[in-house]
């Protein structure tokens, strides 16, 4: 029976070609939109993770309580040993030491007198060890406007807008004025190696990035780090996995009452990021459901109209002695075949276009000028397991439902009425 129906659909293009095309287009849009929404909502989370929060972050308990103030006097001591512990306990994750700091950037003139000053938010990361993971994670090479990345000790990167404001060029010297870990005054000379543009006003306003070894020397933080951040191997934040990882680590130090004992927090446990993670999860689901529902209505109507147009055919088949129930069931079987074929084709097309957006992205750099929050300048889709089956909801179920509802008319109408429709 199934083979017979498939042959009939293949030979009668009017019954298969257009319905399959309609279903494929609807499923393709559903799959692509779901991947797009997932990627768009996740991009902001990943950007904040890369620049500040990590997927998980390790700090001292005292530091965590005053996290917004970046209290380096409460930083982790013996960070190298803790790094070894993290790498052995969680080898599938990438770990990096960082120091966030604030200070005043002073620009001297030829006589050594101040010719410009400005407050800056600093970040100490690994730039000179030969491991490029941090530079790649922060996309520093692509963000370069002038100069180059630091290659030697005491070289620093400034945000381009900040350097223009101070009148600084690559090769000029600047002085960082801040406070050490012990609270005394710190003054440290740097040479500007390059300038960066992040496309985010809050960072372009005044950012300084230096190698963590230089920052340790400047702030007297030898073998110390403000925080150690970790990233999952697949590059995407998983809230349940992050919370589980944090709970596993914190259990190691649960018996200690030392305020300087390390504590791990997932990204969703840091500041307002928890609200955004939950919002992205639920709103992403809601938007996807609305779109799936809309496409379901379209395909349901397509199946309904397709069934109604076949009343003349139904009249012929009943006139030849075929039972109404058998006619109805064959129409349902045909809709299942059409739904499966269209869903498979549509899912393949949707995944292909989603992959293109995931790989190359859609640039919105022009829309991000003057932004005061950390948002990505390129939107990328993200293909997840639901994308492989979500299209079958409107593609198969809605098509079959539309045919089922239209086919009910076969039982409601009298055979004589179907004959009359055949004659007309």
pLDDT at 360: 83
pLDDT at 34: 84
Q: What is the pLDDT of residues 95-154, one digit of tens each?
A: 999 999 989 999 988 777 788 889 999 999 999 988 878 888 888 888 888 999 999 999
Q: pLDDT category, 61, cuts 50, 70, 90?
A: very high
CA distance 180 to 72: 8
Residue 141 lies in a domain: yes
Do 106 and 40 share a domain, yes or no?
Answer: no
Q: What is the mean pLDDT of the chain?
A: 81
What Å distances lie between residue 382 and 13, 249, 285, CA to CA? 36, 29, 14
List the domain range (segments joined by +) for residue 199: 99-224
Do 281 and 363 share a domain, yes or no?
Answer: yes
pLDDT at 370: 44
Do 126 and 218 share a domain, yes or no?
Answer: yes
Do 131 and 210 share a domain, yes or no?
Answer: yes
Greater confidence, 401 or 35?
Answer: 35
Greater confidence, 334 or 100?
Answer: 100
Residue 155 lies in a domain: yes
* Calculated CA dihedral for residues 81, 83, 84, 86, nearest 10 degrees: 130
Residue 23 lies in a domain: yes
CA distance 224 to 213: 10
Do 182 and 296 share a domain, yes or no?
Answer: no
**Count of CA atoms in the C-beta half-sphere (13 A) of 417:** 7
Q: Name residues whose C-beta falls within 8 Å of residue 361's C-beta, 6 or more positions apart in sequence.
A: 378, 379, 380
Residue 385 lies in a domain: yes
Residue 200 lies in a domain: yes
How is 285-346 classified by DSSP, letter by letter?
HHHHHHHHHHHHHHHHHHHHHHHHTTHHHHHHHHHTT--HHHHHHHHHHHHHHHHHHHHHHH
CA distance 242 to 264: 10
Do 291 and 419 share a domain, yes or no?
Answer: yes
For tokens 């129906």, the residue is 5
Residue 230 lies in a domain: no
CA distance 203 to 173: 21
Do 309 and 385 share a domain, yes or no?
Answer: yes
Do 306 and 184 share a domain, yes or no?
Answer: no
Do 352 and 417 share a domain, yes or no?
Answer: yes
Q: Name residues whose C-beta falls within 8 Å of residue 342's C-beta, 6 or more positions apart in sequence.
A: 19, 20, 21, 22, 23, 24, 26, 27, 395, 399
**Helices first, then strands: H and E counts in the chain:** 16, 14
Angle at the Cα of 391 from the Cα atoms of 385 and 396, rounded to 5 degrees = 130
Do 110 and 219 share a domain, yes or no?
Answer: yes
Q: pLDDT category, 7, cuts 50, 70, 90?
A: low
Residue 52 lies in a domain: no
For tokens 């993200």, the residue is 382
For the chain, how many structural domains are there in total? Answer: 2
Do 282 and 414 share a domain, yes or no?
Answer: yes
CA distance 53 to 45: 9
* Percent of the chain clearing pLDDT 90 (strictly above): 33
Mean pLDDT for 291-317 is 63
Do 129 and 24 share a domain, yes or no?
Answer: no
Residue 271 lies in a domain: no
């Amino acid at each position: 029976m199934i083979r017979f129906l498939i042959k009939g659909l293949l030979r009668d293009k009017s019954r298969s070609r257009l319905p399959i095309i309609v279903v494929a287009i609807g499923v393709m849009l559903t799959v692509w939109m779901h991947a797009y929404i997932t990627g768009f909502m996740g991009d902001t989370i990943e950007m904040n993770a890369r620049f500040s929060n990590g997927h998980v972050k390790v700090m001292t308990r005292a530091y965590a309580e005053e996290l917004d103030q970046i209290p380096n006097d409460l930083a982790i001591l013996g960070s190298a040993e803790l790094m070894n512990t993290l790498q052995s306990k969680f080898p599938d994750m990438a770990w990096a030491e960082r120091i966030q700091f604030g200070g005043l950037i002073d620009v001297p003139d030829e006589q050594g007198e101040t010719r410009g000053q400005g407050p800056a938010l600093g970040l100490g990361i690994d730039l000179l060890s030969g491991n490029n993971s941090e530079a790649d994670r922060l996309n520093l090479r692509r963000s370069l406007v002038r100069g180059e990345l630091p290659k030697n000790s005491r070289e620093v990167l400034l945000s381009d807008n900040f350097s223009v404001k101070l009148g600084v060029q690559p090769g000029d010297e600047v002085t960082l004025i801040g406070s050490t870990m012990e609270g005394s005054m710190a003054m440290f000379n740097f040479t500007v190696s390059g300038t960066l543009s992040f496309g985010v006003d809050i960072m372009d306003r005044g950012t300084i990035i230096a190698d963590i070894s230089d920052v340790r020397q400047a702030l007297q933080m030898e073998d110390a780090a403000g925080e150690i951040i970790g990233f999952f191997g697949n590059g995407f934040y998983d809230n349940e996995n992050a919370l589980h990882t944090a709970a596993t680590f914190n259990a190691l130090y649960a018996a200690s009452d030392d305020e300087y004992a390390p504590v791990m927090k997932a990204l969703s446990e840091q500041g307002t990021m928890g609200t955004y993670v939950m919002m992205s999860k639920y709103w992403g689901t809601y938007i996807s459901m609305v779109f799936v529902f809309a496409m379901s209505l379209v395909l349901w109507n397509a199946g309904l109209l397709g069934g109604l147009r076949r009343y003349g055919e139904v009249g012929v088949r009943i006139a030849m002695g075929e039972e109404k129930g058998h006619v109805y069931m064959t129409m349902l079987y045909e809709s299942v075949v059409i739904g499966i074929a269209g869903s498979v084709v549509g899912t393949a097309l949707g995944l292909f276009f989603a992959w293109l957006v995931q790989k190359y992205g859609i640039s919105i750099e022009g829309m991000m000028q003057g932004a005061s929050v950390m948002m990505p300048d390129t939107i990328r889709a993200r293909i997840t397991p639901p994308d492989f089956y979500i299209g079958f909801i409107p593609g198969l179920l809605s098509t079959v439902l539309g045919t089922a509802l239209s086919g009910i008319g076969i039982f409601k109408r009298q055979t004589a009425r179907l004959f009359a429709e055949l004659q007309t």
